[in-house]
Amino acid sequence: MTQHLLALQDFSKEQLGAYIEKGLLLKKEAKAGIRNQQLAGKTVALIFEKPSTRTRVSFEAAMYGLGGQVIYLSGRDTQLARNEPLKDMARVMARYVDGMVVRTYGQAIVDELAGYSSVPVINALTDLHHPCQVLSDIMTVIEHKGEVEKLHIAWLGDGNNMANSWIQAAARFGFALTLACPAGYDPNPAILAAAQAVASKPIRVVRDPVEAVREADVINTDVWASMGQESEQEARIGVFRPYQVNAALVAQARPGAIVLHCLPAHRDEEISEEVLEGPQCVAFDQAENKLHIHKAILAMHLGQ
């Protein structure tokens, strides 16, 4: 097992599948009231330079749930805010804690921390990737629709961090992925090309939202302006409007298709209130599964 979890491409299909197996097992154990203390005596630091509700609370609850302890640091509370070098931060933190869960801006920040850290660094969202979220989402898809490799998954809207992690997941798990993005908002081209080069099923970017959902078993979307892009919010609403996941669009997908949203959602922007609150939407199952997958990630990276 690679020590750090920075991006899904660093793992084989079997390794990614192991997180999901473990997440499903820990969920079953938790529902049965079984107490698992496998991280007793371990401490993880959460270093978050961007806001979070789900990821922060689910990582904290996961760590405490496995008997461990958490130290939460917001970006402004550390010397990083006063430009202490990342390589110093990484080596100091590794003397105190058994792992770091980091939410930040550039992927280069988590990569550099990992490069200097002797304890695991887990990527809890960067501008480029959101790998832990996509693992929770795939666990949710498997629970609702069975084997993920047999499915066609559609992504609607921005080619953002979530889209990039879904592309890497498609290449590894072997499911078909069609992304409908407006021109100028495509996913990262290098990530797309690398995934397409090794994928067993098509990974395509199209402009037409209906084309993306026509064969879809799963429809997936996310906010049109991610954290750090707040100043673009108004301009993006105009560009992205045709990509809204609403009842008319969902009706074009395969019967029984499910709708994913990692949350937080902007109602009646990227997803209509009707669809978000409707029976096909599994957003709150995704949110719950973050707890179980984060337990799996912590157990597998910190539990040795």
Residues that bind ligand NVA (CB under 6 A): 125, 130, 160-162, 222-223, 226-227, 262
d(CA 95, CA 195): 36
Q: Is 54 in the site for ligand CP (CB under 6 A)?
A: yes
Residue type, 274: E
Q: Is 55 in the site for ligand CP (CB under 6 A)?
A: yes
- Select from ligand CP, ligand NVA, none the partner in contact with residue 226, using the beta carbon and a kind-dependent cut-off of 5 to 8 Å: ligand NVA
Give the CB-side neighbour count of residue 140, counting CA atoms within 13 A. 27
d(CA 219, CA 134): 14
Helix or strand (DSSP H, E) at 69: strand 69-74
Other Cβ atoms within 10 Å of 170 Cβ, number: 27
Site residues (CB under 6 A) for ligand CP, limited to 185-244: none
For the bound state, the minimum distance from the C-beta of residue 167 to ligand NVA, rounded and expressed in Å, comes to 14
Query: Which DSSP symbol is given to 273?
Result: H
- Select from ligand NVA, ligand CP, none the partner in contact with residue 123, using the beta carbon and a kind-dependent cut-off of 5 to 8 Å: none
Nearer CB in complex with ligand CP: 121/262: 262
Burial class (CB in 10 A: 0-12, 13-18, 19+), 203: buried
Among the residue ranges 68-76, 179-187, 256-264, 277-285, the one whose residues contact ligand CP (CB under 6 A): 256-264
Angle (CA) 164 169 170, round 5°:
100
- Select from ligand NVA, ligand CP, none the partner in contact with residue 223, using the beta carbon and a kind-dependent cut-off of 5 to 8 Å: ligand NVA
Taking CB under 6 A as the criterion, the residue among 104, 107, 133, 160 binding ligand CP is 133
Q: Which residues bind ligand CP (CB under 6 A)?
A: 52-55, 125, 133, 262-264
